[in-house]
Structure 1
Amino acid sequence: MPSRVEVTEEPGTKRQKIQQASKTTYLATTRSISSSLKLNLQKHPLNIRPSGNLLISTDEQFARISDSMGIFKKLPDELILKIVSFLHDKKDLQNLMSVSKFFYGFLSNEEIWKSIFLNHQETNPISKWRGSWKNSVLGIDPPSETETHTRINCDTIYSDLVYIPYQNSQVDYEKIFANVIKEERYHQQHSIFQSQDFQSPLDFPIKGRIPRLTESSMTMSEFNTKWHNYPFILQSDKDSPLSSSSPSSQPRWPKWDMPYLLSRFSDVKFREECVDWPLSLYHDYTLNNIDENPLYLFDCNSDAMKQLKTEFMRPTYSQTDHFTKFGTSRPDNTWLIMGPARSGSTFHKDPNSTSAWNATLQGCKLWVMLPPDLKPPGVHTDLEESEVTSPLGLAEWVLSGFYNDSVKLSDETVNKDGFSGCLIGVTFEQDLIHVPSGWWHCVVNITDSVALTANFVPSVKLATVLNFLKNKKNQISGFHPKTFNDVFVKFMEKMESEGKQFFDEDNETVLKNYLKDITSKEPSDFTDEDVGELRNCDIELPTYQFFVELLHQDGMNDELKSALEQMRAIERENNRGNVKKSEVWENLTKEGTDSGFSFGFGFGDDEDDEEDVQEEGDQN
């Protein structure tokens, strides 16, 4: 722990100076967002205002609102939006905009036009981005800077449904997170720790912050013994692979910024959430959009990614990845990620209980992370966490106070294992962050960013992944039935031809029954879609049994037996809260049984019972 604390002044902000041994670090006085930033409302270009402004409106303004809305004034905005959603043709929407100022302003909601495009993108694709979904769908170029453009004044519209998405599209994360960025930048430049400096991550002196460590100090041994279950940020030092001081003079991570990728893959289609666009089109979108939640490029299977996957070196500590045993049927695991400022991902856990690393190649990202057993503020889940809902987009989650709630948790130790309630950090260009198995995390792109990420299964997490595959079948994702079956059939044929023994008889029964089932069907009966997208279907891949046998055939018996023992311990721990009641106890406590014995809990039904209880109390 820090041996001395003193407060110093830096231009524009107060900081605490903590000295420990020969290391010096600086902490922002607060990482919370001030009210002045949260309540800094932006003026809507059409003069649309929040619903709350109606409270101070005059009778004259109410009359103008009534004239503008007509009979629709009796309906809530959500119902009007539902009615508008039944219009599936862009011409119908365009005509509706001409009806009144109300509908002109109401249809400035970008989500309406985005929905029109997504429902008809095959017949009406966007070949050119024109600054907004509305302009792009209608094929209208916005006015140039030299052209005069008179906007229609929609000051009779008071609607959160229309105003808030625009406000969120104007959020400036560099200003909102200025204190966090400044602190993290200082640590990046001055306060690099070695992983060996700590007996455990809990010894890190700056609570609530994601530890920053040198990459060369994170060996596989260090990772397996101390750091596998805790987030950390690695940055290059002189001993890092491919560091700037090495003879090759190359940075640790490839320089895949947007200009470089455009020079190689301008016309290649990448996956951007719900669309597949050429990179050149997505680039135009990132430069000029007013989306509340901008499209996030998250691609693993494009022609470009097949090539890019071979052009970088994975972190040393992640070299062991047991999902490689699945061969070509392994779950999707390596992605290129791109997004403009304001884009990002809401709270989630990585698939199949895998661990992950994420390297920032361009820009900077804010990370908010919580331990597996601590639900993030503003997030709702069912008991099994198979359904996760975050009713707010990233910007509204930040501005509504849930980020500040997370900051409060970052200063408290509430996790059963002693972890801080929440960890917050920023990754800059050439930084890598470790996302432990099962940890909640959300990511905000503070600036335009490019990143590379991969999931892996280290030996130390084998039991956790086995437990997930066995006991959370409805949450498995990343496997593709057709590819899985191809690899599976070859495996079973080899087992039979070579007379090899199965690790477990139950596994053998399950796998042989599955083989019999799939060989009785046509190949066309199986899709190659992600099983995570095929819920409520009759396809249940024997991923757990197959994984166990793959590990067995790879000669990992000792490690497998140990992992299965750990898995059974996890199962016992998880089942403690769901123990089935004893039938004997049920019979004993059931009234009117033939045993002649029952527990008489006659609360107030019999005065004699009350007297007996009183007497017994007096005797005691």
Structure 2
Amino acid sequence: MTFTGKQKQEDDSKDDEEGHPYGVEPLGNIFLGRSSDCKPRGLGTLASFDDERMLDLLCFLDAPALGRLACASRALYVFAHVEELWKTLVVQEMARRPGQGVETRGGWKTTLQHIAVGRSAAPGGGRGGGGADDEGGGKSVPHVPLKVSGFFSDLLFQPHHCATTVIRPEWVRRDTVDRRAGLSPEEFRRLYEEPNRPVVLTDAAASWPALEKWTRSRLSAAHGDLRVHAGGLEFALKDYLRYARESKDELPLYVFDKRFVDKCPDLGREYDVPSVFADDLFSVLGEERRPDHRWLIAGPARSGSSFHVDPNCTSAWNATVSGRKKWIMFPPGETPPGVHPSEDGLDLAAPVSITEWFLNFYEECHAPTRRVRPLECVVSAGEVVFVPMGWWHCVLNLEWSVAITQNFVSRVNLPHVVKFLLTQKHLISGLPPDQRDDLGESFVTAMSEQRPDLGVSEIAERATASTTAAATGFGGSGGGMVANGGESCRNGGTSKKRQKLWDKLKQGGGGEAVGVSDAGGASEDGGGGGRAAAVNGGDGCAEGRSESASSGGFSFGFSFS
């Protein structure tokens, strides 16, 4: 996206009156002539690199090297303070501290300093700005950004633009999903599950105790020490609530915890599976052998899940306990604009954040020339949305929200699930790698023993006899999607570059692909990429960073300016 023109600047000013904290301006502003470009002099011989290549280079540096580099010139000061660089260093540092929860302190740079020395301080390259008592017993000296003039970059401006964009009324206005109350399991199956059509059940969770007990204040008081996972990091719940309140991230970290019932059984007693979803056939495998299927989800406004299809050909239900969620859903085989899956289902190119997708592609969904338009709805506390198998969907939290989601297998999608498990083993998710190959056979055996009335053996015979490679029957991928920034993502060039870059930066040291799916479509898959809409994980530049920095692997030809 290139930001030019008076109207665009006026629109931006409505969202962000203070501007970028480091003074970065959209590339188009260079033609306004208000200040000269600081990059040629500030980068020296490195000025031949575009912004993407510069950040590729900087992802090999450790924290001290970034701090020293920030002192060299105005341009390098800005590059060395890209938040994703410091966020990635925090993820890698915490991977070396298993069992320790992170406590954020404002930005990710200050957080890393807090982790390293046990208290907050202003790292090299910034300047201190006042002090306050820190909860850890020291003085908190937050990093205060310096505004630089003459730095123009769409790549670096876009995250700030998305992070400060106000959720637009037109994004929320449309509501095209059926809303029903009082449906019996038979009515639900006939009207919605068999036609494979979404629906919002307005009364399915209205009586849950969780609606009263899972407010932010009560969760903090009753379960503040509960460890939860969000974006590759482990938090005490009270510390995550603090992060969510203070975060200025473009895509805030999102609690997506599959072990919450094991860690806190009281939470599991404060909600019930709605009766229309009670027949979950994966239960024949038992909790230890079935794929991950149940998650606690929580996050602030602008957090949520990017477009994905739920894994293993399952359907899902998602109950909002507090807050409001905007859902966008495309039917099977209808890929959302701006989303580009690979043919094998292992790869997905898409905008970096949900806000970016809304800014650049939402109106395209409703263009007069578009053949198929999405179904949309806002789901509020006490309501449950049914996400049928094969449907693309994304979710944007409109405010602080807490939800429960479960993926399930019913007699309706059973044939698709069996065929998928037997013929698409490389796309199975939610289990350790060594358990995936046998999942289909184990499920067929267990179903034949416990539910012989459903004829699973015959279903399996037909599935294995088929020569069709696609498991879903929808013409799309049946597995989860990994957002790894392929070449086909389009957005004036900027979104493609940002996707490729952020995926490199978001590769943590632990090799854990941490999902962000709102409907269970991206599980916390310890096997690494390829099965989830991942925001962290893999083994990218982590190994090379400290080695390059310590060995002086780069010769920087910059001049001071």
* 1:392 CA drift (Å): 3.1
- 2:307 counterpart SS class: strand
Paired position in structure 2 for 1:26: none
C-alpha displacement at 1:459, in angstroms? 0.9
Instruction: Say if 1:108 and 1:162, in contact at 8 Å, map to a contact too.
Output: no
**Partner in structure 2 of residue 431 of structure 1:** 383
**8 Å CA contact retained: 1:126, 1:136:** no
Report the TM-score, using the length of structure 2 for normalisation: 0.71
Alpha-carbon distance change, 211 to 566 in structure 1, aligned in 2, over 3 angstroms: farther
Question: For residue 232 of structure 1, what is the aligned residue in structure 2?
Answer: 199
Structure 1 residues 338, 540: CA separation in 2 closer, same or farther (over 3 Å shift)? Answer: closer
Q: Could you say if the C-alpha distance between residues 422 and 305 of structure 1 is closer, same or farther in structure 2, counting changes exceeding 3 Å?
A: farther
- Counterpart Cα distance in 2 of 1:286 and 1:44: 21
Structure with bigger helix share is 1
Contact 2:83–2:107 under 8 Å retained in 1? yes
Name 2:121's counterpart in structure 1.
140
Q: Is the Cα contact below 8 Å between 1:101 and 1:152 reproduced in 2?
A: no
| CA positional deviation for 1:115 | 1.2
CA RMSD of aligned residues (A): 3.3
- CA spacing shift, 1:127–1:378, aligned 2, 3 Å: closer
Q: How does 1:92-241 map to 2 (within 5 A)?
A: 92-123=65-96, 127-138=102-113, 139-140=120-121, 143=129, 152-173=146-167, 176=168, 178-179=169-170, 181=172, 209-214=176-181, 216-217=182-183, 219-228=184-193, 229-236=196-203
CA positional deviation for 1:94:
1.5
Paired with 1:317 and 1:359, the residues of 2 have a C-alpha distance of 13
Equivalent residue runs for 1:548-567 within 5 Å:
548-560=444-456, 563-564=459-460, 567=463
Distance across 2 between alignment mates of 1:38 and 1:372: 35
Give the CA deviation at 1:145: 10
Determine the structure 2 residue equivalent to 1:298.
Answer: 256
Q: Does 1:49 align with 2:16?
A: no
Match of 1:373 in 2: 333
| Amino acid corresponding to residue 346 of structure 2 in structure 1 | S
Matched, 1:463 2:415: yes
Shift of 1:323: 0.1
Alpha carbons 1:212, 1:233 under 8 Å: kept: yes
Q: Contact (CA 8 Å) 1:258, 1:450: kept in 2 or not?
A: no
Identity %: 30
- Return the letter of the residue paired with 1:234: L
SS of alignment partner, residue 140 of structure 1: coil
Matched, 1:256 2:256: no
Question: Is the CA contact 1:265–1:304 (under 8 Å) kept in the aligned structure 2?
Answer: no
Q: CA deviation at 1:389?
A: 2.8
Alignment partner of 1:322 out of 264, 268, 281: 281
Give the deviation of 1:213 after TM superposition. 1.0
Kindly indicate whether the alpha-carbon contact (under 8 Å) linking 2:448 and 2:457 is maintained by their aligned counterparts in 1: no
Letter aligned with residue 545 of structure 1: E
- Find the counterpart in structure 1 of residue 36 from structure 2: 61
Asked if 2 retains the 8 angstrom alpha-carbon contact of 1:386 and 1:474, the reply is no
In structure 2, which of residues 363, 373, 384 is the aligned counterpart of residue 404 of structure 1? Answer: 363
Following superposition, the deviation at residue 77 of structure 1 comes to: 1.3
Query: Contact between 1:463 and 1:566, CA under 8 Å: does it hold in 2?
Result: no
Structure 2 Cα separation of the partners of residues 150 and 343 of structure 1:
25
Structure 1 residue 574 displacement after superposition: 5.5
Deviations 1:288-330 (A, max 9, x none): 1221111110001145454422331111110101000101311
Q: State the SS of the aligned residue for 1:376.
A: coil
Q: How far apart are 1:554 and its partner, in Å? A: 1.0
1:287 equivalenced with 2:245 (yes/no):
yes
Letter in structure 2 aligned against 1:339: G
* Stretches of structure 2 lacking an aligned partner (at least 5 in a row): 1-6, 114-119, 123-127, 133-140, 476-561
Higher RCO structure, 1 or 2 (CA under 8 Å, sep 6+): 2
The 8 Å contact of residues 102 and 234 in structure 2, kept in 1 or not, is answered as: no
CA distance in 2: counterparts of 1:541 and 1:310, whole angstroms: 34
Quickly say closer, same or farther: Cα 1:213–1:563, change in 2 above 3 A.
Answer: farther
1:56 to partner: Cα distance = 3.1
User: Counterpart of 1:47 in 2: which secondary structure?
Assistant: coil
The answer to whether the 8 Å contact 2:303/2:397 transfers is: yes
How far residue 116 of structure 1 moved from its aligned partner, in angstroms, is 1.2
2-structure distance, mates of 1:136, 1:376: 36
1:22-54 CA distances to partner (integer Å, 9 max, x unpaired)?
Answer: xxxxxxxxxxxx977579673112322112222
Q: Does 1:70 align with 2:30?
A: no
Structure 1 residues 285 and 574, CA, compared in 2 at 3 Å: closer, same or farther? closer
Following superposition of structure 1 onto structure 2, how do residues 293-372 of structure 1 map, counting pairs within 5 Å?
Answer: 293-302=251-260, 303-327=262-286, 328-372=288-332
Q: Distance in 2 between matches of 1:150 and 1:374?
A: 46
| Cα separation, 2, equivalents of 1:253 and 1:93 | 45
Q: Deviations over 1:339-363 (max 9, x none)?
A: 1111111111111111111011111
Residue of structure 2 aligned with 1:386, choices 335, 346, 362: 346
* 1:269–1:276 contact (8 Å) kept in structure 2: yes
Q: What secondary structure sits across from 1:136 in the alignment?
A: helix
Q: Secondary structure at the match of 1:116?
A: helix
Kindly provide the amino acid, as one letter, of the partner of residue 349 in structure 2: T
CA contact (8 A) 1:234 1:431 kept: yes
Cα pair 1:366 1:445 within 8 Å, conserved:
yes
Q: Does 1:543 align with 2:439?
A: yes
Q: Which residue number in structure 1 is paired with residue 542 of structure 2?
A: none
Count matched residues. 440
Counterpart CA distance in 2 for 1:471 and 1:435 is 23
Q: Secondary structure at the match of 1:460?
A: coil
Contact 2:101 2:227 in 1 (8 A): no
Structure-1 residue corresponding to 2:541: none
Conserved? CA contact 2:324–2:399, under 8 Å: yes
**Contact (CA 8 Å) 1:171, 1:342: kept in 2 or not?**
no
Larger radius of gyration: 1
Structure 1 range deviating more: 357-366 or 552-561: 552-561
1:99 deviates by 1.5
Runs of 4+ in 1 over 3 A off after TM superposition: 34-42, 64-71, 122-128, 141-151, 179-184, 240-243, 250-255, 302-307, 411-414, 561-578
- Distance in 2 (CA, whole Å) between partners of 1:128 and 1:573 is 46
SS at match of 1:478: coil
